[in-house]
Structure 1
Amino acid sequence: MSNIELSDSHHVKQTTSSNDPVGEFSVEFWGVRGLIPTPSTNTSRYGGNTACVEMRVAGKRLIFDGGTGLRILGRSWLKLNGPLIAHLFFTNSQSNRIQGFPFFSPAFVGENCFHIYGTAASNGASIKQSLCDQMLQPHFPYPLQVMQADLQFNNLTSGSKVTLDDVTIETALINQNQRSAGYRVSWNNYSVAYMTDLYQGANEIDLGCIRELIEGVDLLIANATYTPPTAHNHESPDLLWKTALNLADGAGVKRLVISHHHPDDHDDFLDSVQTEVKNAFTQALLAREGLILSVVGGN
């Protein structure tokens, strides 16, 4: 039973798309960059779009974060037949997590339905308010109300659990300062954790929430530890990923994917980080746009 706070809009029955065979559990990366989009010839191999990850599990479509990668994902969905039902989970309301939402084409199609989830921002704004505000003048020419799809907003609190048939999404605040949520998606004894606001020096409360969500997961998606912009450099690349790797190692995580690459991290540098990470943990890799991983079977 879910303890989310549902919006006043009517419920839409969850259906399984004929394009997604029941039993599939896969992860696709549509945006892997943190902070700000970085399109350039030096980021073409890993990608320059900000955070967006799609999970297809038991015929359901789950999206985590709505950075500029969400625009690319949306365009790919326009090729699908029939009404779309999907669930969008936001880790926080910072610009790099929500900036693709105004350009999410399927949200402008009336027959589609999107369930949108998020925690309150540091200023108390709900996820609905945060998404609405970025689409107001002078930031954007059209308000959220021009989207014709059925948008159902759900306010999460730390410890919330969303149940979609036999798929469970658990939530916890993993970064109190940023009011950032982490997620664990479970189905049929398989699980994926999405943790993209890890930071050095996390307090015991945050660490406890993180460990609980990542314990024994088949796949952990985490950020390379962020540092203040003035301190970012390429002299000690191991400092960027050791927090995630140490947490994964201590929690019995089977595979680790490091995402949310810093805007200054060009392809050649990320190649060097990839080598270091693989040497430390053979079941770890860096995320690239277009990367697809199967949770069932481990490919």
Structure 2
Amino acid sequence: MKIKFWGVRGSIPTPGPSTVKYGGNTTCIEIRTDDNDLIILDAGTGIHALAQNLLKEMPVQAHIFITHTHWDHIQGLPFFIPIFIPNNHIKIYGGIDPVTNETINRALSVQLQYSFFPIREAQLNARIEYATVKPGVPVHVGRAVITPIVLSHPVLNFGYRIDCDGQSVFFTGDYEPQLNIYDPEDDEYAEFQSFVDAKWDEVVLAMKDVDALIVDSSYTNEEYASKQGWGHGTYDSGIKLATAAKAKKLFFTHHEPTRSDTSLEIIYQNLLQNNPGTGCELLLAQEGIDISL
């Protein structure tokens, strides 16, 4: 398999001179199997640049797996040029929101309302399909097997494991490891801790022995102290996950929008110095870099 990051930023796009190296587009990851099947993880603004790259491959068959429907993970969908071109086949996968009971088709149809976009959904020329994913139920794309798992975030969020060609990738989407909401002296603490521990074991098992683990690592520990419950992980929580899962490579992504290239590199060097024995390679996700597993 091959991986290419087209968007690595969290929350809001951050173009400008301070984000040129690592990138300012929001989340989008391209996965190619050895058979050249195209799997896309999330459709943030980075999917627009991916679309330009795909124009030379027309017609295309693309499988877009949405982790969750916050804007920074879907806002590029109306700008994914293949949806306007005949003979392309685009299949969009996602969950059923337990609050609204809406399926993933809402992610595109809402954005194509006349108040927000000049083109109507009826004007799309590609063949568009929608598919609902369920926790633990594998989806097959060619020889690839994509397995969803629900991960903690303030909206329904799926992490996806992709297994193909004897290799594996896991992407968390936006993920804040579950915390115990009770104090140790509370009667409910022990029972809730059992739930937290069981969920941790489930998550680690889902990403066990992957060749590449891509994690939401928005915050430093110092920043996280004031942002608990916002739904995002830290660099240290990512390393803890990778160590427990025995991942071979760990990619930190969903870079905090105020984080410059210089700030990212300072954090990265500190991580390398302070975590020499993790057993996996630590890497910053960077737009435009081709990665072969």
TM-score, length-normalised on structure 2? 0.84
Q: Which amino acid aligns with 1:157?
A: K
- Picking from 257, 261, 272, the partner of 2:266 is 272
**1:107 maps to what in 2?**
83
Structure 1: distance between partners of 2:111 and 2:224: 24
Aligned to 1:178, the other structure's residue is in SS state coil
Contact kept, 8 Å, 2:93 with 2:104, in 1: the verdict is yes
- Unaligned regions of 5+ residues in structure 2, if any? 180-195, 228-232
**1:143 maps to what in 2?**
120
Structure 2: distance between partners of 1:28 and 1:119: 24
Aligned CA distance change for structure 1 residues 144 and 251 (closer, same or farther; 3 Å): same
Contact kept, 8 Å, 2:218 with 2:255, in 1: the verdict is no
**2:216 maps to what in 1?**
223
Structure 1: distance between partners of 2:236 and 2:43: 26
**2:135 maps to what in 1?**
158
Structure 2: distance between partners of 1:94 and 1:75: 23
Aligned CA distance change for structure 1 residues 229 and 188 (closer, same or farther; 3 Å): closer
RMSD of aligned alpha carbons: 2.0
- Picking from 50, 57, 65, the partner of 1:73 is 50
Moved over 4 A (4+): 225-230
**1:91 maps to what in 2?**
67
Contact kept, 8 Å, 2:10 with 2:218, in 1: the verdict is no
Structure 1: distance between partners of 2:153 and 2:201: 12
Aligned to 2:204, the other structure's residue is in SS state helix
**CA deviation map 1:5-44 (0-9, x unaligned):** xxxxxxxxxxxxxxxxxxxx10000000010000011111
**1:172 maps to what in 2?**
149
Deviation at 1:291, TM superposition (A): 1.8
Contact kept, 8 Å, 1:216 with 1:251, in 2: the verdict is yes
Deviation at 1:189, TM superposition (A): 2.3
Please state if 1:250 is matched with 2:248.
no
Structure 1 window deviating more from structure 2 (126-135 vs 222-231): it is 222-231
Aligned to 2:234, the other structure's residue is in SS state helix
Aligned to 1:29, the other structure's residue is in SS state strand
Contact kept, 8 Å, 1:184 with 1:214, in 2: the verdict is yes
- Picking from 199, 203, 206, the partner of 1:213 is 206
**1:194 maps to what in 2?**
171
**CA deviation map 1:208-256 (0-9, x unaligned):** 4421221000100111055999936xxxxxx830001101001111110
Contact kept, 8 Å, 2:23 with 2:286, in 1: the verdict is yes
> Aligned residue pairs: how many?
264
Q: Which amino acid aligns with 2:265?
A: D
Structure 1: distance between partners of 2:201 and 2:128: 33
Structure 1: distance between partners of 2:258 and 2:71: 18
- Unaligned regions of 5+ residues in structure 1, if any? 1-24, 233-238
Structure 2: distance between partners of 1:289 and 1:171: 24
Contact kept, 8 Å, 2:153 with 2:176, in 1: the verdict is no
> What does residue range 109-128 of structure 1 map to in structure 2 within 5 Å?
109-121=85-97, 122-128=99-105
TM-score, length-normalised on structure 1? 0.83
Deviation at 1:136, TM superposition (A): 0.9
Contact kept, 8 Å, 1:224 with 1:244, in 2: the verdict is yes
Q: Which amino acid aligns with 1:188?
A: D
- Picking from 36, 39, 45, the partner of 1:62 is 39
Structure 1 window deviating more from structure 2 (67-76 vs 167-176): it is 167-176
Please state if 1:260 is matched with 2:254.
yes
Aligned to 1:154, the other structure's residue is in SS state strand
